[in-house]
Chains A and B, each alone.
Chain A
């Protein structure tokens, strides 16, 4: 397990809206870091040995890196679209590999069992065929035409609907989900999962949303997402092993897991193995 290939990536390290001059102590890939604001209100991130780390502020979050990022942060064009509400959900700390947290986010087959009567319900358990590809031009994993019956797809949904999803993995610990927007059928709601790897087996999950919903209060929107992620945490902290197994013999996927298969393949190919287990133990 090496941090090498992932060290030059951008990672979320906190909410911009919560920055304090006194700074907040956290960690990035095992290194203690401090995230604070300077006299002008700009975000600064300091590494364990006092060195200044790269910083940028985007999608409500402060981003940093222990290495030297060679690429700009991945684009989310919807973040600049007028009329959307941007929701800083905050952090959920999970004792699992950051890669397992992302993989769970890409999974729909668990909805009826883990998010019962919200994102899924028996007997509507079938996962229909969908399309998955690794888009070489942008170096991202994409799943499209994902459909699932949901009793309450969003806070703004009045009743059960068949929801359509698209998933994107633009960075090893980040995913962007595009989902049917109940009040505006021509648009997609955007829900992201930004994962801060504290260690190989510990992470802070920072969900963020860009929605068309003018009615629901900010508190209710945040509570809805927190409910979902706390349900996910009860799974993520009880998977064995805690690291994501990249050895194909270790776990048994089915057709419903095509996104997860592509994600694991992409991680392996790019050597994104921080938080992964390469050989069965």
Chain B
């Protein structure tokens, strides 16, 4: 994935999978994050742990411009500061109560989360449209072998003959999140074909991984 000395970007989700007013968990090499979009449409990513009692914030809920923990309803702003503690409605939460946040970028239908502070923006995916994401229980090498292509510096793999579209990889600890992209001009039939081909590629990559043919 694109990196420089100060940080790097991970493609964690497709824009279409995160409507306004929702939160989802996302994996990055820097740890699990709660990725959320406010009702006004602003994106944010925070550490996936409420500092109060350790509950995963990705199980929480979004109301207005805040993310709330599902355990006790503590809510957080995009900047990570705690806005409200429902057990004490009259209390203004101290500045010290906050969650760590990550930089987020969104372009061409893909959401990227930064580890560290990357000097550049995430790569553009010119001419490509995101189709769907799937998790493959295999590493990059098995996926490359199954797809019959090598990963570009931007994290893109061209599948053989383009049948399975173009894959954008986010590898992490033995499993890989794959975003399937198709050409902008792909019709419905091409999209269905790319989706099916992606699933068969996933099975092949997982078999390769299981049989230890590639590490």
List chain A positions with a Cβ less than 8 A from chain B.
107, 109-110, 112-114, 122, 125-127, 234-235, 238-241, 245, 250-256
Q: Taking the nearest CB of chain B, how far is it from the CB of A104, in angstroms? A: 9
Q: Is the CB of A126 within 8 A of B54?
A: no
Cα(A234)–Cα(B56), bound, Å: 11
* Residue among A107, A127, A240, A251 making CB contact with B88, cutoff 8 Å: A127
Chain A residues lying within 8 Å of B72, measured Cβ to Cβ, are 107, 109-110, 113, 256
Q: Is the CB of B51 within 8 A of A252?
A: yes
Chain B residues lying within 8 Å of A240, measured Cβ to Cβ, are 48-49, 54-56
Q: Taking the nearest CB of chain A, how far is it from the CB of B88, in angstroms? A: 6
List chain B positions with a Cβ less than 8 A from chain A.
48-49, 51-56, 59, 69-73, 85-89, 91, 97
Chain A residues lying within 8 Å of B53, measured Cβ to Cβ, are 239, 251
* Residue among B51, B59, B69, B87 making CB contact with A127, cutoff 8 Å: B87
Q: Is the CB of A238 within 8 A of B87?
A: no
Chain B residues lying within 8 Å of A241, measured Cβ to Cβ, are 54
**Extra 19 A-B pairs, beta carbons < 8 Å, given A107-B72, A252-B52, A256-B87:** A110-B71, A113-B69, A114-B71, A126-B86, A126-B88, A239-B53, A239-B55, A240-B49, A240-B55, A240-B56, A245-B54, A251-B51, A251-B52, A252-B51, A253-B52, A254-B85, A254-B91, A255-B87, A255-B88
Chain B residues lying within 8 Å of A113, measured Cβ to Cβ, are 69-73, 86
Q: 4 closest A-B pairs (Cβ-Cβ)?
A: A125-B86, A256-B87, A109-B87, A127-B87
Cα(A127)–Cα(B86), bound, Å: 8
Cα(A113)–Cα(B71), bound, Å: 6
Cα(A122)–Cα(B51), bound, Å: 22
Q: Is the CB of B54 within 8 A of A251?
A: yes
Q: Taking the nearest CB of chain A, how far is it from the CB of B110, in angstroms? A: 27
Q: Is the CB of B89 within 8 A of A125?
A: yes
B48, B49, B71, B91 interface centre (most CB from chain A within 10 Å)? B71
Cα(A27)–Cα(B160), bound, Å: 52
Cα(A255)–Cα(B85), bound, Å: 11
Cα(A139)–Cα(B209), bound, Å: 55
* Residue among B56, B59, B71, B87 making CB contact with A126, cutoff 8 Å: B87
Cα(A126)–Cα(B59), bound, Å: 22
Q: Is the CB of B73 within 8 A of A125?
A: yes
Chain B residues lying within 8 Å of A255, measured Cβ to Cβ, are 87-88
Q: Taking the nearest CB of chain A, how far is it from the CB of B126, in angstroms? A: 39
Chain B residues lying within 8 Å of A251, measured Cβ to Cβ, are 51-54
Cα(A252)–Cα(B55), bound, Å: 12
Cα(A7)–Cα(B91), bound, Å: 42
Q: Is the CB of A254 within 8 A of B87?
A: yes
Cα(A240)–Cα(B48), bound, Å: 9
Cα(A126)–Cα(B87), bound, Å: 4
Cα(A17)–Cα(B88), bound, Å: 44
Q: Is the CB of A239 within 8 A of B52?
A: no
Cα(A239)–Cα(B51), bound, Å: 10
Q: Is the CB of B51 within 8 A of A235?
A: no
Q: Is the CB of B70 within 8 A of A114?
A: yes
Chain B residues lying within 8 Å of A239, measured Cβ to Cβ, are 53-56
Which residue of chain B has its CB nearest to the CB of A245? B54
Q: Taking the nearest CB of chain B, how far is it from the CB of A38, in angstroms? A: 44
* Residue among A107, A122, A235, A253 making CB contact with B70, cutoff 8 Å: A235
Chain A residues lying within 8 Å of B49, measured Cβ to Cβ, are 240
Which residue of chain A has its CB nearest to the CB of B49? A240
Cα(A127)–Cα(B70), bound, Å: 17
Chain A residues lying within 8 Å of B71, measured Cβ to Cβ, are 110, 113-114, 235
Q: Taking the nearest CB of chain B, how far is it from the CB of A51, in angstroms? A: 38
Chain B residues lying within 8 Å of A112, measured Cβ to Cβ, are 73, 86
Cα(A256)–Cα(B73), bound, Å: 13
Q: Is the CB of A109 within 8 A of B55?
A: no
Q: Taking the nearest CB of chain A, how far is it from the CB of B28, in angstroms? A: 16
Q: Is the CB of A235 within 8 A of B52?
A: no
Chain A residues lying within 8 Å of B55, measured Cβ to Cβ, are 235, 238-240
Chain A residues lying within 8 Å of B59, measured Cβ to Cβ, are 234, 238
Chain B residues lying within 8 Å of A125, measured Cβ to Cβ, are 73, 86-87, 89
Which residue of chain A has its CB nearest to the CB of B94? A252
Cα(A235)–Cα(B73), bound, Å: 13
Cα(A268)–Cα(B88), bound, Å: 27
Q: Is the CB of B54 within 8 A of A256?
A: no
